[in-house]
Chains A and B, each alone.
Chain A
Amino acid sequence: GQQLNQSPQSMFIQEGEDVSMNCTSSSIFNTWLWYKQDPGEGPVLLIALYKAGELTSNGRLTAQFGITRKDSFLNISASIPSDVGIYFCAGQGIGSSNTGKLIFGQGTTLQVKP
């Protein structure tokens, strides 16, 4: 079945630093989504990507849909303490067997030192 590999698993950075995380799939995806989860809460959607090569920004966040359609990355610029949380990539593969099936990566835990 489809698998998403997200890296790094965790990051501990200084406030003000830029952050980059990525996600790769075992098969071609037609959608990439990036979420942030605070402890004990449901994930919140940050960015949605629909086209290969697409580059989308949301404030200090930038995400790209890889040209091969098998990867995506998320960058956070000038990190602040409230960026702390778990970041997940998610996506849906192509083909009728994957219709509607939204799967998630393992998450990247981000800690920011003030």
Chain B
Amino acid sequence: DGGITQSPKYLFRKEGQNVTLSCEQNLNHDAMYWYRQDPGQGLRLIYYSQIVNDFQKGDIAEGYSVSREKKESFPLTVTSAQKNPTAFYLCASRRGDVEMEAFFGQGTRLTVV
């Protein structure tokens, strides 16, 4: 089945540790996105990538890093520099700039203690 897979569903980390969230898609989509969602809030754009080996900062990129070495994969690292990392993280992909529909994974809930 084609889709977007985020893993793990739940993640716990100690404060000060870096953590990497996985996002894989087999839809052959060019563009991929990472969003952060806090309780009662909308989706805020962290990073996005329109093509392999290229990515752009979104509105809240500070404290995060990404890579896009393969078309299928767009991992997000939450670094110790992120002041408030506990949140629900959502990955999305879309075919490209012509077809705008983005499809989401199931999300990763990160809790930093």
A binding-site residues for B, Cβ under 8 Å: 1, 4, 6, 31, 33, 40-45, 48, 50, 88, 90, 92, 99-107, 109
Contact with A42, one of B31, B59, B90 (Cβ below 8 angstroms): B90
- CB atoms of B105 and A42 under 8 A apart: yes
Tell me, yes or no, whether B11 is within 8 Å of chain A by CB.
no
A42, chain B: closest CB distance, angstroms: 3
A45 touches B42 (CB 8 A): no
Pair A104/B104 contact, Cβ less than 8 Å: no
A103 contacts which chain B residues (CB < 8 A)? 45, 59
Q: Is the interface of B mostly helix, strand, loop or mixed?
A: strand
Distance of A71 Cα from B16 Cα, bound (Å)? 42
A6 and B100 alpha carbons, distance in the complex (Å) = 20
A33 touches B101 (CB 8 A): yes
B102 touches A33 (CB 8 A): yes
Interface-central residue, A6, A31, A42, A104, by most chain B CB under 10 Å: A42
Partner among A41, A104, A105, A107 whose Cβ is within 8 Å of the Cβ of B106: A41
Evaluate contact between A1 and B48: CB separation under 8 angstroms.
no
A50 to B100, CA, bound (A): 9
Q: Are A105's CB and B42's CB within 8 A?
A: yes
Q: Which residues of B contact A101 (CB under 8 A)?
A: 45, 48, 56, 58
